[in-house]
Structure 1
Amino acid sequence: MSDTLYDVVILGSGPGGLQAAIHASRKKARTLMLGRIDNSSLYWAHVENYCCQIKISGEEILKKGRDQAESFGAEFRDEDVLAIEPDGKLFSLKLESGDTVRAKTVILATGSSRNKLGVPGEKELLGKGVSYCVDCDAGFYRNEVVAVAGCRSAAAGGAVALTNFASEVHLYCEELDVNEGLRRQLDETGVKVHEGVSIKEIRGENAVSSVLLSDGATQDVTGVFIELGAKGVLELTAMLGVQLDENMKYIEADKKQRTNVPGVYAAGDICGPPLQMAKAVGEGCVAGIEAATYAKKLEKDE
């Protein structure tokens, strides 16, 4: 499947992304959705404020949405995107499996939450060695020793990327949950993977100097990268040049869910509050229709 071309590629598997997949595929656009539904915050929730549903689990909604999108021809891959960049008028996306796919349009629907470790020193040293964005901050750690916290693709992919800058990269996780392709990259790049070990405290006065680990050991580091999920808004937008709001937290999109980058759309929590399923579904509908239309127009112009 490497280098396959899609009309629409959707990042994120929550309600906004699923609704976009339904509408894009109904318009006969070749549609690929990337991500695991259990990464969506809705997966663990119970919904009772959505129109026409008295009470339903988020897991059930997401599974039904996926089945519905697949019935219209949408394709799904339960893996995350490690890198995305412009490729002429198209976009090239590197997946955690090592495959690359190309897209005429991209819909960002990855949600907005930034998972925290919740350990002493994390908040106090944010911006002083604690970071949630490898792609944004890796360059500040040339020839330094750094730590990465996380078990999934964002952490593993971030650790691999950091080896291009840091002299030593330590990845701490309870149990690594990535595919074999990404595991091989960790081995090949020399990342020191510590499974079954977690960071319990981040230490330092005015800057990070070390981390206290769950096994009682201490590791001297100058940077701690917290990557507890899939690639988030900061990383993906940094790669594409997508405009964020003044607080650098949400993507700016117009009423057609278009960003400032032609061919890139956004929907759901990533576009800002209210962080509700009803809003995400509405924006996903618009984004799916607009992205499919744009992709077909691009095809005619070729």
Structure 2
Amino acid sequence: MSIYKSIVIGTGPAGLTAAIYLARAGLAPLVIEGIQPGGQLTTTTEVENFPGFPEGIQGPELMDQMRKQAERFGAEFRSGWVTGVDFARQPRIITLEGGETLQTETVILSTGASARYLGIPGEQENVGRGVSTCATCDGFFFRGKKLLVVGGGDSAMEEASFLTRFATQVTIVHRRDELRASKIMQDRARSNGKIAWALNRTPVAVETDELGRVKGLRVLNNVSGQEELLEADGLFVAIGHTPNTAFLGGAVEIDSHGYIVVQPGTTKTNVQGVFACGDVQDTRYRQAITAAGSGCMAAMDCEKYLEGSMVHDWSETLN
């Protein structure tokens, strides 16, 4: 069984950037693609804030170009779903669905974080077409429009406040009459004249017009028991993210929200030779460009680690 110098798990902007840097360094990384190769950007239509594309670029096209760039330099790709890891021994062991195991000296974890959705009719069908989970990414497209933000935490308050830069009105929808957001974030939102409130409303379905454009959100008024239509041109779901770390089984340190903990200013986890980049360790920015930057960092950290590690004949481990 061959032993890889490095295996990258995940193919979003972070994982693909790491693969490009590792491949250019002659380390011939293996990149494992999950069930959504390319990550969240593959569900994004127009990307206008990634440097180098003044006219914008489609999310799937950007990911495809990054993948081809990594392949050009010698990165190997294979489809598979990682079901478990063993970082307690060297070489590291990665187990794929079906029981196949891979061995590697280093691992870069770039499995991302999945936005939480409401799970209501009309939502998934309109992601990227009026439904979004990222105000920073998509707010610009709704200049002069009416918008809804669903959520009651700090993220929802922050998204709503940001969207008022573009929208004529932003209505915050929450299923209870009390918010989870911190007082300072609530006060900031309540003092914004462009923000309206629809509390005690439970989302039921995303509604579209005859042309397939989002026209609003059907909600249940929890006080009256009646359904209502909150009219809007777009809907932003801000109910949090779930980092994709369950498969690790505690092999590296994670925080209380499931994000991988890295040493400040690096991509190093608490396990030597295991690095993390992108949204799986980013609780704050969650942007394609910051993910790509951290992918570069992970590759460089990984290369430095391999340069400094003792030469070892791993074939002895296999016998």
TM-score when normalising by structure 1:
0.57
1:46-195 alignment, distance < 5 Å? 46-54=46-54, 55-86=56-87, 88-113=89-114, 118=119
Q: CA deviation at 1:39?
A: 5.8
Unaligned runs of 5+ in 2: 121-241, 314-319
Give 1:269's aligned residue.
Answer: 279
The 3-state SS of whatever aligns with 1:250 is coil
The code of the aligned residue for 1:34 comes to I
Q: CA deviation at 1:9?
A: 0.6
CA distance in 1, matches of 2:76, 2:82: 15
Give 2:9's aligned residue.
Answer: 11
- For residue 253 of structure 1, the aligned residue among 262, 268, 276 is 262
The code of the aligned residue for 1:234 comes to T
CA distance in 2, matches of 1:95, 1:49: 35
More deviation, 92-101/76-85: 92-101
What RMSD, in angstroms, separates the aligned Cα atoms of the two structures? 2.4
CA distance in 2, matches of 1:116, 1:4: 40
Greater C-alpha radius of gyration? 2
Compare relative contact order (CA 8 Å, sep 6+) and give the higher one, 1 or 2: 1
CA distance in 2, matches of 1:239, 1:20: 23
Q: Do the aligned residues in 2 keep the contact of 1:4 with 1:100 (CA within 8 Å)?
A: no
The 3-state SS of whatever aligns with 1:300 is coil
The 3-state SS of whatever aligns with 2:113 is coil
The 3-state SS of whatever aligns with 1:259 is coil
Percentage of identical aligned residues: 33
CA distance in 2, matches of 1:5, 1:301: 12
The yes-or-no answer on 1:285 pairing with 2:288 is: no
Q: Do the aligned residues in 2 keep the contact of 1:42 with 1:58 (CA within 8 Å)?
A: yes
Q: CA deviation at 1:79?
A: 1.3
Q: Do the aligned residues in 1 keep the contact of 2:32 with 2:79 (CA within 8 Å)?
A: yes
CA distance in 2, matches of 1:51, 1:234: 29
**Cα deviations across residues 154-195 of structure 1 (Å, max 9, x unaligned)?**
xxxxxxxxxxxxxxxxxxxxxxxxxxxxxxxxxxxxxxxxxx
The code of the aligned residue for 1:262 comes to Q
The yes-or-no answer on 1:41 pairing with 2:52 is: no
Cα gap change, 1:287 to 1:64, in 2 (>3 Å): same
TM-score when normalising by structure 2:
0.54
Q: CA deviation at 1:87?
A: 5.2
The yes-or-no answer on 1:30 pairing with 2:28 is: yes
Give 1:238's aligned residue.
Answer: 249
CA distance in 2, matches of 1:116, 1:283: 26
Q: Do the aligned residues in 2 keep the contact of 1:265 with 1:291 (CA within 8 Å)?
A: yes
Paired residues in the alignment total 188
Q: Do the aligned residues in 2 keep the contact of 1:268 with 1:275 (CA within 8 Å)?
A: yes
CA distance in 2, matches of 1:296, 1:100: 25
CA distance in 1, matches of 2:119, 2:43: 20
CA distance in 1, matches of 2:69, 2:111: 20
CA distance in 2, matches of 1:43, 1:87: 34
Cα gap change, 1:39 to 1:53, in 2 (>3 Å): closer
CA distance in 2, matches of 1:78, 1:110: 14
Cα gap change, 1:232 to 1:92, in 2 (>3 Å): farther
